[in-house]
Chain A
Amino acid sequence: MTKGEIVLGCLAPHPPHLVYAENPPQNEAFSEGGWETLRWGYAKLARKLKTIDYDAIVIFTPHWQTYIGTHFLGLPEFKSKSVDPVFPNLFRYNYDLRVDVELAEAMHEETAKAGIITKMMRNPDFRVDYGTITSCHLLNPDWDKPIVTISSNRNSHYYSNEVMIEQAKALGEACMKAIEKSGKKVVLVSSHSLSHRHFVTEAPLPEDMSREHIYNHSQYVWDMKIIDMFRDGKMQEVVDIMPEYTEQTIAETEAGGLIWMMAAMGVPSYPAEIYGYQSVIGTGNCIACWDPNNNTRELVL
């Protein structure tokens, strides 16, 4: 069997506003649009994904929060309605998705071997979180590839951002081993915003773009600093600065997704492709991807 590989790593933010703004048939809410900079960026990245040969999407989500280890979705199908507990007015999405259970089990096994507490989730009534659904919908609206969802173990709450980083690194390396052994071509997705301070009020029309802006300038400056490092391929520096960045901007990187993805990809030193940056209810969101293939990597923005 040929060695499996990671063919792309995507930073894919999941404000439900983006699905809401698209008006797909799966979502019950109706919008007049909004947040085009991010949606158009997503559309371009989704087109790139169509040109890539891959078997499964593996996604790390902050909205399946576990405190007792790292959990993996472990049943072949999930069909239900996902209602966002924070923005139920925007996101009530009927999903019907497939899971690559074989790959999930392989990652679970390697993760356990690495000494990480881990668990397969096999309850058929479990609702898949809206982070997974939003990022996967925007990257692959056809839903024609199986996924694996990995929960986020909240080490930053229980210990510190430094501990979170160590564990996320170990998890990424274990997942990489499992992918190599599986012989599969895999797209990794780290689903989260960058800076993550929300406004606590909402405009009467949530998609009223005259009301949308970053929560404060400090968040913006930090986000730009991180994105510049993405562009320059300085991912080791991003990893090093992550505790400070996460604390200063209460970034959604606290869940560990970006570190997990970078560790699995061997901490890239090539430039990321940037697809867009925009605020959503005050939070900073960047769409980016790391393409390990020198021939297909582009300067997008």
Chain B
Amino acid sequence: MSEDSPILFGLYVPPHPQPLLSPDANQGYSNLRAAFETCRKRIEESDADLILVYSTTWPSVVGHQIQALKESIWTHVDDDFHYLGSMPYNFKIDTDFANEYCSAAKKRGLHARTVEYEGFPIDTGSVVALSLLNPDNRIPACIVSSNMYANRSETIVLGKSASDALIAQGKKAVIVVVSSLSNRMFTEHIDPADDRIHSSKDNEWNEKILQFFADGRLEDLSQLSREIHGQIRVQKVVAYKPAWWLASAMGQHNNYQGEVLAYEALHGSGGAVIQLTPSTGSFGDKEFDEDDVEFYQGDRNVLNKENF
């Protein structure tokens, strides 16, 4: 790994509850479960002080929300997959880091706030990830939301703020993005044994994204985010943001060692467990289309009030 990065490695994991609740219902689910467990061991073997999660299944409206409740305890049930069972959780949150992350985000022009409320509904994706990656609360965690209106510049700056906060506190982290690849699920109930990726188009795009990940081409993926959003993402939010956040937190380049530990269908959507570790060799930077951004200065509206 590179000496100066506060991030030991990054993980990309799916949000669906099957690997946690019904791993034996389908070979693919148990492959994903095994990949989660490999990652759990690697986190244990690392000297990480913290696990930081960016979850696409925690939408926020008022800026960027950061979980700060030291002991987050509840029993979560998924809106769709409630019949698979309940997910009791008891997460140890690094409140000091949450506060640092919040102020780092504000320094870069973002509207951010911590949430510290008993019974706050931690989302399915974060519950699945932390339950499988850190089952005994061996190290503390923190979770950041995905603002539903935020686009590229906000998300890039949110990622950089995570790195700022880790450096400020001298902490080493494993960072985790919780997101599907293609996210179109079947709209009917299926026999888990029959699960497959919803369409060949989704599958081909997923395979292409996985090639990029395997080659460590994180910044290339970040640059491709808008295309990915248009091609294989159900249009629930304005953009596909995970690669933006991951790249800006870890470093906007292609110098990573990538490993795809599993890729399987989860009720039709693409679920992958991927590890990216900073390295010295580079795949080579391509010509990037989109500018970098250091501070968020608001949306650039076509019609600005000052024009009137």
Contacts and interface: CB of A to CB of B under 8 A. Distances in A.
Interface of A: 64-69, 71, 81, 83, 85-89, 92, 117, 119, 121-123, 125-127, 151, 153-154, 157-158, 198-202, 281
B145 to A, nearest CB: 8
Interface in B58-91: 58-63, 75-77, 79-80, 82-83, 85-86
A121 B82 contact: yes
Given A117-B187, A154-B236, A86 B82 contact: no
A69 B79 CA distance: 11
Nearest to A91: B117
B143 to A, nearest CB: 12
Interface string B168-188: 000000000000000011111
A85 B122 CA distance: 8
Given A64-B79, A69-B189, A119-B189, A200 B62 contact: yes
Contact of A198 (B61, B119, B184, B236): B61
Contacts of B119: 81, 83, 92
Contact of A117 (B82, B115, B189): B189
Contacts of B85: 123
A200 B185 contact: no
A125 B83 CA distance: 11
A85 B124 CA distance: 12
B235 to A, nearest CB: 6
A167 B23 CA distance: 33
A200 B80 contact: no
A254 to B, nearest CB: 11
Contacts of A69: 187-189
Interface size class of B (residues with CB under 8 A): 35 or more
B68 to A, nearest CB: 11
B62 A86 contact: yes
B75 A125 contact: yes
Contact of B62 (A71, A122, A123, A201): A201
Contact of B121 (A85, A157, A200): A85
A157 B77 CA distance: 22
Nearest to B267: A68
Nearest to B237: A157
B79 A85 contact: no
A236 to B, nearest CB: 28
Contacts of A201: 62-63, 111
B77 A123 contact: yes
A85 B55 CA distance: 13
16 contacts: A66-B80, A67-B80, A68-B186, A81-B118, A83-B117, A83-B121, A86-B60, A92-B119, A117-B188, A121-B82, A123-B86, A154-B236, A158-B234, A198-B62, A200-B63, A201-B111
B75 A68 contact: no
Given A123-B82, A157-B234, A200-B63, A68 B188 contact: yes
A222 B166 CA distance: 46
A68 B86 contact: no
B188 A88 contact: no
Nearest to B235: A157
Nearest to A155: B187
A299 to B, nearest CB: 36
A119 B82 CA distance: 10
B120 A83 contact: yes
B77 A87 contact: no
Nearest to B116: A88
Contacts of A202: 62-63
B288 interface: no
Contacts of A89: 115, 117
Interface in B271-308: none
Contacts of A67: 80, 185, 187
B58 A126 contact: no
A126 B121 CA distance: 11
Contacts of A68: 80, 185-189, 267
Contacts of B267: 68
B77 A66 contact: no
For the complex of A and B, the 7 pairs showing the least CB-CB separation, nearest first, are A125-B86, A123-B82, A126-B77, A81-B119, A125-B75, A88-B117, A83-B119
A123 B83 contact: yes
Given A87-B62, A92-B118, A126-B82, 10 more contacts: A68-B188, A71-B80, A83-B120, A86-B62, A87-B61, A125-B77, A151-B79, A158-B234, A198-B61, A198-B149
B18 to A, nearest CB: 13
Nearest to A28: B117
Contact of B79 (A66, A117, A157): A66
A68 B79 CA distance: 10
B259 interface: no
